[in-house]
Structures are given as structure tokens and as C-alpha cells.
Amino acid sequence: MITLLGKAASRAGRCLWALEEAGIEYEHKPVDYAKGEAKTDSFRAINPNAKIPALTDGNVAMFESLAINLYIAQNYGKGSLWPDDAAGNSACQQWTLFAATELEPPSAARLVEFIFKTEENRSQEALDAAAEKTKAPLDALEATLRDRDYLTGDYFNVADLNVACVAEYLVRTKFALSSWPKVNDWITRCLARPAFAVMLDIKATEMAA
């Protein structure tokens, strides 16, 4: 059985969303990075990167949240999260790397300003720089969504999940998406999915504990 390590308020939330979409049984260990729980020898044996999330599944042990989601999709989401055709599969990988390289750096920079800093300590310069770098990837998404409902076609799959879980940072930090109406509509649909709501519940429960 799959074990996912990392609390929901971390990037592990992305993988919890994927697991809930796949609808499979899994074990979740809410390892807390801030408490040093990822720096222990037992955790490092699973993930030498000493970061969360990590996943184990039989003899598979891996890290990188977006790669974990591709693994979940390929192995437990055939025909739904993972398309049946080679063109669809490669598109899922492409969008995953797009999320990691193009969208994550400016989105994460924004999240840092909003979540980890008080309002008076927020750097407008950093926010402006992030906003500038966000435009090109949003333009690319807008152009892609012009003729389809989801990134690789007409249904939700791991490409959407991996891009949406990063774009969610923009939504969370109230970045105005009005110039990108197709993106705005798409992310709204992605984040309205029941599996995403389950992940938010897990997160809320953990944070209240």
C-alpha cells in the first residue's frame, strides 16, 4: 500500500489531492518539516533529500511532489488521471515540468510573501517581480485553454492537477486572474473538485490538532 509522508499544509497536499482523485487506499503520515521530522535518519532512509513529501509503495521510494503525482496517475489512475495514449502521456509530463520550472518559482515567491510574512513586512518589490514572471506562463495556459476545457483535452487529468496545485498559490494569495479568463475558469473548476475539498479537510484537521 502507498504511504505518503508529509503534512497536508506542505507540498504533500498536492499528493493527497492526487491520491483522493485516484480513490485508492493509502496511509498518510503527517511528517512535520518545521519540527525537524524530515531530518531524522529513519526519514532520510526513505528520502535522502530530507524534504516532504515522500512516497513509498512496495519497493518504490521517491520524492518531488509533482513526480509523485505522475507516479500515482500512471499506476493508479489509468484512463482517468493518466490518459491512455502516448500523446496524452507526454503532454502530462510536459505540463508537469512546466509547473515545476515556469509557474512554481514566481508562485512560490508570492506565497512566501503572503503566508510567511506579516503585511507590513511584505516586499512589494518581490511581489512585483513575481507578478511579472507569472505573466508568460499564464499567457501560455490561456492560449492552451482557448480551444479546450482542460490542458490536454476535454477531461481533467494529472496535467491539470499538477499545474493547478501550483497555480493554487496564486489563488490563495489573491492574484488577479481577470486578464486570463480561461485560466480563471479552469482553476476554479479544478479547485472545486471534491478530492481537493477532502485534502483541505485533512489540512484543516491537522492544523487544528
Angle between helix axes 65-76 and 12-22 (nearest 10 degrees) is 10
* Residue from the set 45, 87, 192, 208 that interacts with other proteins by CB under 8 A: 87
CB 188 within 8 A of CB 149: no
Site membership for other proteins, residue 192 (CB under 8 A): no
Give the residue among 109, 101, 108, 107 at the shortest CA–CA distance from 126: 109
Least distance (Å) from other proteins to the CB of residue 171? 20
Site string for other proteins, 88-107 (x = CB under 8 A): -xxx-xx-xxx-xxx-xx--
Kindly give the pairing relationship between strand 2-5 and strand 54-57: antiparallel
- As a whole number of angstroms, the distance between CA 146 and CA 136 comes to 15
Site string for other proteins, 44-83 (x = CB under 8 A): ----xx--------xxx-xxx-xxx-xx--xx--------
- Binding to other proteins (CB under 8 A) within 118-177 occurs at 136-137, 139-140, 143-144
Which helix (H) or strand (E) segment holds residue 2: the answer is strand 2-5
By beta-carbon proximity to other proteins, the closer residue of 44 and 117 is: 44
DSSP 81-97: TB-SSHHHHHHHHHHHH
Site membership for other proteins, residue 115 (CB under 8 A): no
Interface with other proteins by CB under 8 A: which residues?
A: 48-49, 58-60, 62-64, 66-68, 70-71, 74-75, 86-87, 89-91, 93-94, 96-98, 100-102, 104-105, 136-137, 139-140, 143-144
